[in-house]
Amino acid sequence: MLSTPWSRETGLRVPIVNAPMGGVAGGRLAAAVTAAGGLGMIGMGSTGTVSRLTGELESLGDISGPFGIGLVDWVRAREPGLLDAALAARPALIAIGFTEDFSWVDRVHRHGVATATQVYDAEHAWRAAAGVDVIVARGAEGGGHGAPTLATLPLLDAVLDAVDVPVLAAGGISSGRTLAAVLAAGAAGAWLGTRLSISTEALTPDRTREALLRAHGTDTLTTRVFDIGQNLPWPPRYPSRVLRNDFTRRWAGRENDVADATAARDALAAAMAADDPAVAPVDAGQGVGMLTESRPAGRIIDELCSVAERALRSWAAG
């Protein structure tokens, strides 16, 4: 079975964590990933609230293995009860991302919970590793929000040289071969987003799921246009990698104009309510072209690990 020292110490059968994608990674997906031997994560994203988290925790069901919860730092600050609710659920891991403020770490540790955060360069990793237990090196290929600073493998190299804590690789890992590559490079595990976003347990709406399955790896771009169009206070450092669509073709490069374009903002809100991926944002990493069908998360993980094991054995054999 595919494993690393970190995955064995954490009680996982496989070194895979699902990214806590807001609106995608709910309780059902977290439970399925944990049942498959990985670490299932519930994600709150931009719209995280105590009631949403409570509902997704109920969807976990009778889970028999470890799970985690992922929060966005500025949402945590806006919803002061959110971290309390997360800690009360007694997860194995709490990940808080999109921040360089790690004052929350001691509080989480006092509850006996491990901590994680995403980083985008070696200096960021070095500062985080002063207290955080697990570092997620998120490369520019990744879907959703993140600083597009370095590609996954160069970032992983830099972070592994900078810190002594376990480092998970994220960004563009959508096949068993790329899983094998990051493990061979020294990652303690893989943090998978796009590849699991079309699993049957994901919260991904039907038309969004279809758009992801149709997409090619070259169909993404990074932009702030959707955040500005929704008046979300994402720091400018963290644009989002999304599928190109009619909205990005009109407004990409003119992001600041969207703030004053009432009709465009209304159209965006309507498209999101109607699950219309021609206008609404669809987070997707550059590995999106590897998605071919919607299947249970357990089957996806089994296939990824099987291919990765064969690849690693082949490389070891020379």
Task: State how far the Cα of 94 lies from the Cα of 117, in Å rounded to an integer.
Answer: 9
Task: State how far the Cα of 14 lies from the Cα of 19, in Å rounded to an integer.
Answer: 15
User: What is 144-190 written as a DSSP string?
Assistant: EE----S-HHHHHHHHHHH-SS-EEEESS--SHHHHHHHHHTT-SEE
Report CA-CA distances (Å) from 141 to 53, 169, 181, 250, 289.
28, 11, 15, 23, 12
The answer to whether 314 and 189 are in contact (CB under 8 A) is: no
Cβ neighbors of 6 (< 8 A, separation 6 or more) are: 15, 134, 166, 188, 189
* pLDDT confidence of residue 64: 87
Report CA-CA distances (Å) from 213 to 56, 197, 269, 295.
25, 10, 23, 12
Cβ neighbors of 241 (< 8 A, separation 6 or more) are: 140, 141, 142, 143, 144, 146, 148, 220, 221, 222, 283, 284, 285, 286
* pLDDT confidence of residue 241: 98
If you ran DSSP here, which 8-state letter would residue 283 be given?
Answer: B
Cβ neighbors of 294 (< 8 A, separation 6 or more) are: 198, 199, 200, 209, 213
Write down the pTM of the prediction. 0.96
Per-residue pLDDT of the chain (318 residues; tens, 9 = 90+): 799 999 999 999 999 999 999 999 999 999 999 999 999 999 999 999 999 999 999 999 989 899 999 999 999 999 989 999 999 999 999 999 999 999 999 999 999 999 999 999 999 999 999 999 999 999 999 999 999 999 999 999 999 999 999 999 999 999 999 999 999 999 999 999 999 999 999 999 999 999 999 999 999 999 999 999 999 999 999 999 999 999 999 998 898 899 899 999 999 999 999 999 999 999 999 999 999 999 999 999 999 999 999 999 998 887
**CATH code matching the domain that covers 5-203+295-317, chosen among 3.50.50.60, 3.20.20.70, 3.40.50.1100, 3.30.300.30:** 3.20.20.70
Q: 27-35 and 50-59 helices cross at what angle (nearest 10)?
A: 40
**Token code pair at residue 6:** 């970190």
> Which part of the chain is CATH 3.20.20.70?
5-203+295-317
Task: State how far the Cα of 232 lies from the Cα of 252, in Å rounded to an integer.
Answer: 17
* pLDDT confidence of residue 138: 98
* pLDDT confidence of residue 33: 98
